[in-house]
């Protein structure tokens, strides 16, 4: 049988089967293709919608960003304007402080100046709260001081006061060789000042009569000077003035830790500085530094009771810095120097002998009795100088500070008499703790520390106890120069002025920002030889004293 027809028949069957299968599958494939296309189209529409939403959100964010940028620019401008207003207010506040504080020339304000600048808005509001304007005149009481000013503020007159009344006594332990006088117990109006501070634009005038002093009973002048403040931060001064020349010297006397400054400060500043000194110069004051330089002359009253044939000429310079400070800390460092080119020339004297004299002396850091225990006596001097420095730090309600100064004198004596150059020195270290916790502020206008501002003024009804402070100090001054025990000073040409050491403790109570009461104890020791260098004429002593003080 022929096999080929049978094979063809098989091939035809496969073809037919394939065709039948294709016919069955083609509609399903077409349907799947249509479904896929629809899904792709749906995804494209969804993607398009998302893209449109994304673009809409991006546009909204860009609009919001533009708005925020605009608000930021407006805020920056507002901040700039606010800073300008704050700076202007601070300048006005500084001028007001200068008017109230006598351009910082020893005239106090009742409240301590804080280490950080006070908010000008609060000061302005406080001043406005107690002021009244009528007929172009404004009356106010800034920091408790009566002030009258024109309505535009260009001219003003302020009146202030400062009173210290002391009482105390001495307990002397003298030896059989002593030549010191008996020191008297008693009282003294240590300071009784009335401050008159006038201002017109950038010009200031200060005049302050003094009804106290050492001793009281002979009214005198504390200051009378003109000042110009138109070139910031400089203040130019001419007149009788107190050029600050050391840390404790710059401290307002109502803010010192003890009744009196350390003896070395009183002595070194007498070379060419001190209160009521004829002065011409300027200072520059910022929160970071204090710099001053003055040409100085004689003290007020140097022509009484005898006229001079020549007045002293000297110079004073001081630079103090506050290298670090924040709300808790204040660090202080300074250096100062003085020179008296020639002291006052007295009207009579021995021919051939210098008629220029200086005397260095001080009471034992308490001015109830006025007999100094250490003194050089009158020195025939061609010139004199003093230089030294200070370091100090305060942290919240704690303070530690100290100073050291060296004094030099170029003598002038008859030919053949020994006249070596003289050298004296001294220093102190003191510390304070405000028991009630008020911080000890730093007064950058003086580059010195101030008194604490009372948080809870004394009141029987409110239970306030005021502020309480305790202080300690060690002080020394050596007015011996070229001293050889057993050899007379006429042979050495030296000075047997004596060495004084004092340890003091003081307790202060501040009922409020205007009043202060101090109780002080001292133990002192004076080592001094007689002029022959053969006998000890020094002594030991204790003192107890108290002070009542008011400042406004």
Q: Where are the domains of the chain?
A: 101-551
Helices 120-129 and 4-100, axial angle in degrees (round to 10): 40
Rounded Cα gap, residues 474 and 505, in angstroms: 9
pLDDT score at 38:
75
Range name among 312-316, 395-399, 431-435, 532-536 with the lowest pLDDT average? 532-536
Residue in the block written with tokens 């660090």? 331
Rounded Cα gap, residues 256 and 451, in angstroms: 8
Identify any residues that bridge with 449 across adjacent strands, giving them in sequence order: 442
Rounded Cα gap, residues 133 and 130, in angstroms: 10
Q: Phi and psi (nearest 5°) for 473?
A: -150, 140
pLDDT score at 503:
98
Range name among 75-84, 299-308, 484-493 with the lowest pLDDT average? 75-84
Rounded Cα gap, residues 222 and 551, in angstroms: 16
Mean pLDDT of 266-280: 97
Going from the C-alpha of 208 to that of each of 104, 222, 259, 330, the distances in angstroms are 13, 5, 21, 31
On the question of pLDDT at 123 being above 80, the answer is no
CB atoms within 10 A of CB 153: 14
3-state secondary structure (DSSP) of residue 47 = helix
User: In this structure, what DSSP letter does residue 183 have?
Assistant: P
On the question of pLDDT at 329 being above 50, the answer is yes
Of 497, 514, 508, give the one whose Cα is nearest residue 551.
Answer: 514
Residues 6+ apart with CB under 8 A from 59: none
CB atoms within 10 A of CB 281: 18
On the question of pLDDT at 431 being above 60, the answer is yes
Under the banding of pLDDT at 50, 70 and 90, the label for residue 174 is confident
Q: Which of 132-141, 168-177, 490-499 has the highest mean pLDDT?
A: 490-499
Going from the C-alpha of 258 to that of each of 29, 109, 254, the distances in angstroms are 110, 19, 9
On the question of pLDDT at 221 being above 70, the answer is yes
Beta strands (DSSP E) in 91-142 are 132-134, 137-140
Of 114, 115, 121, 116, give the one whose Cα is nearest residue 86.
Answer: 121
pLDDT score at 201:
96
Rounded Cα gap, residues 130 and 148, in angstroms: 12
Burial of 282 (0-12, 13-18, 19+ CB in 10 A): middle
Residue in the block written with tokens 């107190």? 242
Rounded Cα gap, residues 355 and 342, in angstroms: 10
Sign of the C-alpha dihedral computed for residues 334, 428, 190 and 512 taken in this order: positive
More confident residue, 160 or 65: 160
Mean pLDDT of 383-395: 97
Identify any residues that bridge with 163 across adjacent strands, giving them in sequence order: 192, 550
Residues 6+ apart with CB under 8 A from 249: 261, 265, 269, 273
Sign of the C-alpha dihedral computed for residues 366, 368, 373 and 379 taken in this order: positive
CATH superfamily assigned to domain 101-551: Porin (2.40.160.10)
Range name among 43-47, 260-264, 365-369 with the lowest pLDDT average? 43-47
CB atoms within 10 A of CB 285: 22
Of 478, 479, 447, give the one whose Cα is nearest residue 246.
Answer: 447
Under the banding of pLDDT at 50, 70 and 90, the label for residue 88 is low
User: In this structure, what DSSP letter does residue 104 have?
Assistant: G
Of 264, 489, 499, 305, give the one whose Cα is nearest residue 387.
Answer: 264
Range name among 85-94, 178-187, 213-222, 392-401 with the lowest pLDDT average? 85-94
pLDDT score at 413:
74
Cis link prior to 305 (omega < 30° from 0)? Answer: yes
Burial of 78 (0-12, 13-18, 19+ CB in 10 A): exposed
Q: Do 279 and 294 meet the contact criterion of CB atoms below 8 Å apart?
A: yes
Q: Do 451 and 240 meet the contact criterion of CB atoms below 8 Å apart?
A: no
Rounded Cα gap, residues 343 and 365, in angstroms: 25
Range name among 127-131, 219-223, 481-485, 505-509 with the lowest pLDDT average? 127-131
The tens digit of pLDDT for each residue in 207-218 reads: 999 999 989 998
Joined together, the tokens standing for residue 1 give: 């049988």
pLDDT score at 69:
75
pLDDT score at 214:
85
Rounded Cα gap, residues 505 and 522, in angstroms: 6
pLDDT score at 476:
98
Identify any residues that bridge with 410 across adjacent strands, giving them in sequence order: 383
On the question of pLDDT at 529 being above 60, the answer is yes
On the question of pLDDT at 61 being above 90, the answer is no
Please provide the distance, in angstroms rounded to a whole number, between the alpha carbons at the two ends of the chain: 148
Sign of the C-alpha dihedral computed for residues 272, 278, 284 and 285 taken in this order: positive
pLDDT exceeding 90 applies to what percent of the chain? 59
Residues 6+ apart with CB under 8 A from 6: none
Burial of 249 (0-12, 13-18, 19+ CB in 10 A): buried
pLDDT score at 537:
87
Q: Do 392 and 325 meet the contact criterion of CB atoms below 8 Å apart?
A: no
Rounded Cα gap, residues 312 and 296, in angstroms: 8
Cis link prior to 233 (omega < 30° from 0)? Answer: yes
pLDDT score at 417:
78
The H-assigned helical ranges of 380-458 are none
pLDDT score at 122:
46
Radius of gyration of the chain from its Cα atoms, rounded to whole angstroms: 41
């Amino acid at each position: 049988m022929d096999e080929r027809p049978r094979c063809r028949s098989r091939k035809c069957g496969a073809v037919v089967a394939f065709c039948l299968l294709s016919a069955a599958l083609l509609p399903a494939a077409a349907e799947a293709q249509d479904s896929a296309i629809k899904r792709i189209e749906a995804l494209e529409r969804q993607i398009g919608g998302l893209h449109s939403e994304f673009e809409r959100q991006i546009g909204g964010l860009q609009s919001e960003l533009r708005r925020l940028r605009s608000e930021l620019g407006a805020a920056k401008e507002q901040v700039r304007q606010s800073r300008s207003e704050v700076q202007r207010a601070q300048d006005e506040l500084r001028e007001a402080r200068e008017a109230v504080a006598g351009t910082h020339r020893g005239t106090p304000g009742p409240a301590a100046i804080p280490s950080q600048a006070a908010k000008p808005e609060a000061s302005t509001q406080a001043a406005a709260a107690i002021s009244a304007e009528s007929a172009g005149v404004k009356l106010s009481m800034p920091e408790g001081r009566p002030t009258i000013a024109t309505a535009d503020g260009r001219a003003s007159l302020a009146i202030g006061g400062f009173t210290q009344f002391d009482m105390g006594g001495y307990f002397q332990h003298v030896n059989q060789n002593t030549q010191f006088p008996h020191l008297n117990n008693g009282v003294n109006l240590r300071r009784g000042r009335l401050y008159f501070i006038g201002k017109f634009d950038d010009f200031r005038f200060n005049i302050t009569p003094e009804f106290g002093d050492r001793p009281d009973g002979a009214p005198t002048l504390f200051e009378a000077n003109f000042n110009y403040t138109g070139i910031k931060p400089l203040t130019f001064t001419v007149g009788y003035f107190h050029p600050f020349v050391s840390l404790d010297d710059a401290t307002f006397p109502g803010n010192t830790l003890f009744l009196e400054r350390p003896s070395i400060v009183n002595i070194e500043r007498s070379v060419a500085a001190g209160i009521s000194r004829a002065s011409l110069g300027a200072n520059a004051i910022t929160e970071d530094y204090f710099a001053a330089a003055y040409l100085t002359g004689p003290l007020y009253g140097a022509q009484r009771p005898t006229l001079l044939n020549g007045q002293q000429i000297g110079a004073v310079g001081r630079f103090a810095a506050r290298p670090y400070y924040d709300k808790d800390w204040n660090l202080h460092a300074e250096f100062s120097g003085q020179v008296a080119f020639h002291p006052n020339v007295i009207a009579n004297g021995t021919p051939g002998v210098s008629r220029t004299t200086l005397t260095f002396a001080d009471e034992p850091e308490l001015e109830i009795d006025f007999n100094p225990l250490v003194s050089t006596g009158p020195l025939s001097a061609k010139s004199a100088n003093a230089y030294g420095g200070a370091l100090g730090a305060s942290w919240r309600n704690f303070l530690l500070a100290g100073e050291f100064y060296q004094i030099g004198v170029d003598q002038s004596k008859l030919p053949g008499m020994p006249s070596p150059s003289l050298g004296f020195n001294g220093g102190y270290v003191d510390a304070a703790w405000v028991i009630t916790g008020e911080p000890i502020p730093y007064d950058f206008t003086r580059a010195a520390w101030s008194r604490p501002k009372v948080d809870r003024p004394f009141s029987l009804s409110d239970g306030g106890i005021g502020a309480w402070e305790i202080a300690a100090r060690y002080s020394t001054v050596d007015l011996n120069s070229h001293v050889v025990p057993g050899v007379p000073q006429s042979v050495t040409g030296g000075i047997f002025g004596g060495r004084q050491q004092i340890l003091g403790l003081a307790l202060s109570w501040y009922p409020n920002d205007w009043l202060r009461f101090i109780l002080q104890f001292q133990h002192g020791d004076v080592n001094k030889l007689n002029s022959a260098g053969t006998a000890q004429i020094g002594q030991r002593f204790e003192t107890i004293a108290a002070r009542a003080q008011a400042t406004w």
